[in-house]
Structure 1
Amino acid sequence: MEEVLTVIAGKTEMWIDEDHMILTSGQSLIVPAHRKHGFRNVGSAILHIHAVLASASFEATFEGSTEPVRRWLPSSE
């Protein structure tokens, strides 16, 4: 699933695979589906990021973890 990460406040280093970039408030990164990506706070303030996912389900595997995290939105039925 495609993902859009937008920096609301703060300064972050974001990456997709081996490509790293610094983003600040108002900037966004579009992450193509099935690409390894992440972010970390590189500023002195609290980092606020807004994530938009192109799917009703979420699945992630975090560095150092062997179990994926899965979340689904409740059914509207």
Structure 2
Amino acid sequence: MSASLYHVDYEHLRRLLRSVRVKAGLTQVQMSEALGVGQSYVSKLERGENFIDVLLYARWCQACGTKPGKVLDELFDRSAEVRA
């Protein structure tokens, strides 16, 4: 897999993380406070201008009240559907 920010799997991850955040009722500002980063960093992650670190990913999921594995399962399910 390419490490490009524009790879289709990374695009799916960004959409999924945003969806998880919105479903949890968190704004970008609230998410940035939970992660200890600036709001612009959250925005750049969701827009695909930055990679997400694995520990930040785990904290993102935790802030949204979901398990990181559950989100990854959904990501891989979506990727499999696209490839089918």
| TM-score (structure 1 length as normaliser) | 0.29
- Counting helix residues as a fraction of each chain, which structure ranks higher? 2
- Counting strand residues as a fraction of each chain, which structure ranks higher? 1
| TM-score (structure 2 length as normaliser) | 0.28
Higher-Rg structure is 1
